[in-house]
Structure 1
Amino acid sequence: MEMEKKLKKRKYFLKMIIIGDSGVGKTSLIHRYVSTRFIQEFKPTIGAEFSTKEIEIDGNLVGAQIWDTAGEERYQSLGVSFYRGADCCGIVFDRSNRDSFEKLSQWRKAFISQGAPEDQEEFPFIIIGNKSDLTNEVLIKRSEVEDWCTQYGNYVYIEASAKDNISVEEVFETLMKTGMDRQIANPHFPKKMSAKGRSLHLNQKSDRKDDSKRDGCCGS
């Protein structure tokens, strides 16, 4: 029995993409998860950059490469370079910004078009409503977002706040679990990282630069 348990354990290498409008808090969410700190001031992401995180889920070791992509329109054509080979994708909107919510379908469409996943209908998206700490703002209702999720693919929806550290771990661990499930269900894709690539990515600890030196804004 003990041998069976050992045989069932494995190591997963996941490529996770975080997309959404500029200023919705993608960088803040990733930084809060990877470093456990919140820094409000950021320069807008140029192109894309990634951080790494290694944790254990259900007894399996998971090495995640978390890609933070630019939300500005001029960089969106670069998506084809960053989305390919992704195991899962989180689309972030600002709960106090209706325009960012209304662009969810646009971001989903762009990811599918540029990332070209083989399982387009079943590809795992997680919808993330950030900035739930803004209690004095008019926030988009959960029921409205859940209706959108049902319409487009019964996606999981999580309300979060990078600033107050609300549901941030839930966001990324849910993404990891959906990515793991996809690899189990479809072992022939996406293509695995090379041994050299795995070593490079996972030997980098929480590898963001010192964000305390950044300025600009990406919100909470």
Structure 2
Amino acid sequence: MILYRYVNKKFSNQYKATIGADFLTKEVQFEDRLFTLQIWDTAGQERFQSLGVAFYRGADCCVLVYDVNSMKSFENLNNWREEFLIQASPSDPENFPFVVLGNKVDVDGGNSRVVSEKKARAWCASKGNIPYFETSAKEGTNVEEAFQCIAKNALKSGEEEEICLASRISPVPSDRFWFT
């Protein structure tokens, strides 16, 4: 849903979970040049893990999205990051750009939150100071800012007209919307 929010500037309660992978594109202006972001949304469920290699190779940035209301999705960040590095086989894994999004900060006015911003930022710092944003796909909170950072990081690793982004989004749904 966060990708749908970014690309279409809307939220829909009718959004269906990703099965395997989904693909979106968006043209962005950066430093007086026009780029096309290719955004691959891969399903977080373990049963789709083997599909990753087909989508991760050639990625210029990887976005890891977890649900701030689910400790399980936060705990999956390590596995998703490692899985991406194994399957994508980037030439410089130590410096490959990642961005982490803690999504669903709007749910229940923040009362159902189980992963603190401090904990998430500490995890990102321990992995080489990965940029971190707290977002809400429903409200649009920090979505544009996060994707500006994502595009900037992707441009550092690939100076082409098309930028390829791989994302792994938490498979744990909240009681209000489904994420893949």
Q: Which residue of 1 aligns with 2:8?
A: 35
Q: CA RMSD for the aligned pairs?
A: 1.9
Kept in 1, the 8 Å contact 2:102–2:133? The answer is yes
Alignment partner, residue 128 of structure 2 = 153
Aligned to 2:44: 71
Q: Counterpart of 2:14 in 1: which secondary structure? A: coil
Overall identity of the aligned pairs, in % = 44
SS of match in other structure, 1:166: coil
Letter in 1 for 2:47: R
Residue of structure 2 equivalent to 1:218 = 178
C-alpha deviation, 1:173, in angstroms: 1.4
C-alpha distance in 2 between matches for 1:54 and 1:103? 30
**TM-score, structure 1 length as denominator?**
0.71
Written as runs of structure 1 = structure 2, the 5 A alignment for 1:1-220 is 28-134=1-107, 135-184=110-159, 218-219=178-179
Cα offset, 1:218, TM superposition: 1.7
Matches of 1:88 and 1:72 in 2, distance apart?
Answer: 20
Aligned to 1:108, what secondary structure does the other structure show? helix
- In structure 2, the residue matched to 1:25 is none
State the shift of 1:67 in Å: 0.7
Aligned length in residues: 165
**Whole-angstrom CA distance in 1 between matches of 2:16 and 2:38:** 21
Unaligned runs of 5+ in 2: 163-176
Aligned residue for 1:187?
Answer: none
Amino acid aligned to 1:133:
D
Task: Return the offset for 1:183.
Answer: 2.1
Gaps of 5+ in 1: 1-27, 185-191, 199-216
2:166 matched to which residue of 1? none
How far residue 72 of structure 1 moved from its aligned partner, in angstroms, is 1.2
Asked whether the equivalents of residues 20 and 48 of structure 2 are also in contact (C-alpha less than 8 Å), the reply is: yes
3-state DSSP of counterpart to 1:103: helix
CA distance in 2, matches of 1:129, 1:93: 5
Distance in 1 between the 2:128 and 2:78 partners?
11
Any conservation in 1 of the 2:105–2:113 contact (CA below 8 Å)?
A: no
**Secondary structure class of the residue paired with 2:146:** helix
